[in-house]
Amino acid sequence: MPTITLIFKNKPLGDYQLRNGVSITIGRRQDNDVVIDDPVVSGHHAKIDSLGERFVLIDLQSKNGAFVNEQLVNTHWLEHGDVINIGDHSLVFEQRKKEPTLNRKTDKDDDTLVMNSSQHRRMMKKSTSHKSINVVRFWDKSQSRGAVKEVEPQTSGPTTHRKKEATDGTLTYLAGGNGRIELTRKITTIGKHPTSDIVVKGFLLDPTSATISKEPAGFYFNYIGGLPKPKINDITVGDSTLLTDSDIIEIGSTRLQFSYDKPAK
User: In angstroms, rounded to a whole number, what is the distance separating the alpha carbons of residues 126 and 70?
Assistant: 7
Q: Are strands 2-8 and 11-17 parallel, antiparallel or unpaired?
A: antiparallel
User: What pLDDT shows up at residue 223?
Assistant: 87
In this prediction, residues 2-20 reach a mean pLDDT of 91
* Local confidence band at 141 (pLDDT 50, 70, 90 cut-offs): very low
* 102, 5 contact by CB (below 8 A): no
| Average pLDDT of every residue of the chain | 76
Q: Are 171 and 180 in contact (CB under 8 A)?
A: yes
For the chain, domains (ranges, CATH) are: 2-95 (2.60.200.20), 169-260 (2.60.200.20)
pTM: 0.46
- pLDDT, tens digit (0-9, with 9 covering 90-100), for 42-69: 998 998 887 767 888 988 878 888 999 9
Burial degree of 88 (CB within 10 A; 0-12, 13-18, 19+): middle
User: In this predicted structure, what is the pLDDT of residue 11?
Assistant: 92
